[in-house]
Amino acid sequence: MMFKNIIVFFFILFFCGIGLLNVMESDQHYSEHENRELASRPEFSLRGVISGDFMEDFESYINDQFIWKSSWLKVKAFIEKMMLKQENNGILIGKNDYLLQPISKPTEQMLRNINSINSYSEKNKDVSVYFLLAPTSVDIYREQRPWLAQSYSQLSILNSVQKQLSTKVSFIDVYETLRQNNNQQLYFRTDHHWTARGAYYAYVEAAKALKLQAYNLDDFNIETVSDTFKGTFYSKANTLKTQPDYIEAFFPKWQVKYEVLYDDKEITNTLYEYDYLQKNDQYSFFLDGNHSLVKITSNVENGRKIAVVKDSYAHAFIPFLVNHFEEVHMVDLRFNQSNLSDYLAQNEIKDVLFLYNIDH
């Protein structure tokens, strides 16, 4: 009986101590490991309690601010690995150090997004509209999935999307060329993005639709700028031992100049921001990460302009595209709520490329 009381005492002492440490510890606003903003303490209100919003927000706050959270998660990941689990926190632990995220069946939101693109093309008949829906690594490297791991077929999604698109929208299919070249590192093993090399092969297919003469790999000096990258999949899976990724940058061998304007404020003459290679979010090396609006002017001087409505997959893709256009305008609708049609008209843009990854 005495032994049981001692166990109960230390059990209560442990949880009281953890609770006290959580109260005493200062809140963190940003997690470098997870590359995201953390929840802040919600403001108490009777209305929030009645609606349940306060409890939901407080739960998110506790989950984000729990003391030694990353250490607890690593312990959990280690235990699950010892139990031969093939998945942790929604990430598949694949072969050859591949971390992969399975895809679910498409939701109604995807259909609404397709309808929005169709509607846009119908309303802007003088604009050429293109759509590139990028597959993710779980399909392109399906041989690396753990045994019996399931993921919804991205090829069937792409075929369905292509059928639903208006005939006014040119669909750019990059699935097969990525599959055919998957003996190369086209996606990061530890992150949800494609690599610059993967973006290159997508650019080659896009060039055909845009009536451009794509440059060959030999036309670029390819430099490895980092070999220490561990991305979003690594952060989610909390694997204890994972070989880091390397990041490549492609530099044209010919004379080229760029002027990059971020959010109508900051101007630079480079497509790459090396400071990020010293941080956790190394993928933001490409075009300084997420911005609502980016305008890139080059010395191509052919009068051609294109707008790319996109997610972050475009960041590794744009450095190839800019070599064919005098102006490239990147619009991120997650942060930019302005009227796209008005913006195109004001800037006399006649080509629009929608570029998103299939999971997003």
Q: How much of the chain is helix, strand and coil, in % rounded to 5?
A: 40, 20, 40
pLDDT computed for residue 79 by the predictor: 56
* Residue at token pair 């009645």: 50
Neighbours of 146 (CB within 10 A): 15
pLDDT tens for 290-306 read 999 999 999 998 999 99
Question: At residue 275, what is the residue type?
Answer: D
Question: Is 355 strand, coil or helix?
Answer: strand
Tokens of 113: 């997004």
φ/ψ bin of 155: left (φ > 0), alpha (ψ from -120 to 50), beta (otherwise): alpha
Please report which confidence band the pLDDT of residue 337 belongs to, taking 50, 70 and 90 as the band edges: confident
List C-alpha distances in Å: 248 to 33, 83, 334. 22, 36, 27
Q: Tell me which residue of 197, 241, 248 sits closest to 227, measured CA to CA.
A: 248
SS3 per residue for 142-180: HHHCCCCCCCCCHHHHHHHHHHHCCCCEEEECCHHHHHH
- pLDDT tens-digit series, residues 119-139: 999 999 899 999 999 999 999
CB 135 within 8 A of CB 358: yes
User: Which residues are registered as beta bridge partners of 353?
Assistant: 130, 308
Separation of alpha carbons 208 and 312, rounded Å = 22
The overall average pLDDT reported for the chain is: 85
pLDDT of residue 109: 86
Can you give the pTM of this predicted structure? 0.80
H/E segment holding residue 261: strand 258-262
Relative orientation angle of helices 196-209 and 314-321, to the nearest 10 degrees: 60
d(CA 74, CA 62): 18
End-to-end CA distance of the chain: 56
Percent of the chain, pLDDT > 90? 64
Helices 69-82 and 53-65, interaxial angle, to 10°? 80
Please check the confidence at residue 288 and state whether its pLDDT lies above 70.
yes
| Residue 32 confidence (pLDDT) above 70 | no
Structure token digits, residue 130 = 């293109």
Angle at 213 between CA 306 and CA 341, to 5 degrees: 15
Say which range, 1-15, 208-222, 317-331, has the weakest mean pLDDT: 1-15
| Tens digit of each residue's pLDDT (9 = 90 or more) over 73-106 | 555 555 555 545 677 888 999 999 899 999 988 8
> Which of 193, 159, 199 lies closest to 177 in space, CA to CA?
199
Using the Cα atoms of residue 335, residue 339, residue 341 and residue 346 in order, give the sign of their dihedral: negative
Contact, 161 vs 134, CB < 8 A? no
pLDDT surpassing 60 at residue 153:
yes
Run of H or E including 250: strand 245-252
Instruction: Quote the tokens at residue 346.
Output: 């004001």
Look at residue 143 in the predicted model and tell me its pLDDT.
95
Higher pLDDT, 161 or 236: 161
